[in-house]
Structure 1
Amino acid sequence: MSRQNTVLAIATPVFFLVLWELAALLGLIDTRFFPAPSSIARTGVNLVQDGVLLESLAVTLRTLMVGLIVGNVIGTVVGVSMGLIRPLRASLDPLLSGLYTVPKLAILPLLLLMLGLGEMPRVIVVAIGSFFIAWISMIEATMGIAHGYLETAESLELTRSQRLRLVIFPAVLPEYFVGLRIAVGNAVLLIVGVEFVMGGSGIGSMIWNSWQIFATERMYAGIVCVGLLGYVLTKLVKMIARVAVPWSPKSTSRRR
């Protein structure tokens, strides 16, 4: 079954790329707006050889990872704490729920006024987006821990640190990695959007600048790079989850 899934996963995009290439060669689509995949690939190779694409990717990846890690760590701590401490949940939940609905890019102008045009506003926007996803995932996972686990911990007279290490963390880890996968995709969207607005030398800026000068092959090469970045990071999180959370039902089902 896994081999069949692999074949389908590869064959489906290849099929659409072949159709796209044929449509471009036969003049069925306007190549000014939809250049042939072969043309996009050649442009991408040239950008890699010139170092432009790799330099832009490095800038975007550095900002993305810093914001993702900072936001995820803080969101995880806050989410678990609110799930365990009822007064903290009662005091912070309305405020955070209201702030969650605010578009993260809408905060960017305020950050630019306060911090200028450096890298810090980019990091903070990504961190805020990652924080809320981690917070929601962890508070729900913590509050959803089976009472039987907690009752067993009480009957064994475990200390607070032992409960966290032996009961709570193992119980919430599967949901943590689910939230992290969502946070990775959201972080890619945010950093590209921020780079659209702020400019600079990231992938988002390269895509936007290519659109402004109507360099469509270069623009599509950047879009493909963004898609591959999100895909690779998501697969990396899934691989780590399989190793870190072998007791997860999803991990168990993959081994069957």
Structure 2
Amino acid sequence: MTKTISAIALVRRAAVLAGGLLLSFNVLAADPAVPLQQSGTDIADRGSLQRGAQLFMNYCAGCHSLQYLRYSRMADDLGLTEEEVMENLNLTGADYGHHIVSSMPASHAEGWFGQPPPDLTLVVRSKIGGPDWVYTFLKSFYQDEEAALGWNNGVFPNVSMPNPLWEMQGLQRPVLGEIDEETGEPRIESLEMAHPGKLSEAEFDRVARDITAFLEYAAEPAALKRQSIGVWVILFLVFFTFLAWLLKKEYWRDVH
């Protein structure tokens, strides 16, 4: 579908880039050991957020919660009705006004995984790299016969969880390089596809991007309103600058 970029959309993108500048500096300063892929998320893309919400509820919410986000708030922000949320996104039977909590009992989770799966409401804000870290993490699972659950992750080594998206992505295996002097183990140079999944690489990239965008929204729902207000603030400043320029010309006309 062809997307027409209006003047307001351009201003919005400029505001997003400016808002993420400090985060970019932090990422460069931290110099993460694992190269992060660009997520390309856009929380102003409501369709992406809606797809991400559906994917999260179907593949992630069985273990992970979003305990600081309510179903009702999500519906308002994502343009969904109460019926749509309760029928398609609420898989635990919780009330419409309740927080999004996992259906997995904490005692069972601790027995299966060693500890309860973490809440993911603030995961994007808690990681250096933000959405890029989450996006790369979702794409970096690989099979590891030595791991307890048979899975490992290039971004988060020894992660104690399986790959919930493996049927869509496929099964990856690591391409090993030289021995790391610090760990004494071979470095992972890259990941290659051993058995393709149901989706193509481009289709799975969109899946990972949509989930990341939804988690980016969940970490700060107010960002949607702040960006929409910011657009009008910038437009006002541009208009005010133009008026100030006209006033300056009028004053200096008499001087000359």
Q: Judging by fraction of residues, say which structure has more helix.
A: 1
Relative to the length of structure 1, the TM-score reads 0.28
Q: Judging by fraction of residues, say which structure has more strand.
A: 2
Relative to the length of structure 2, the TM-score reads 0.28
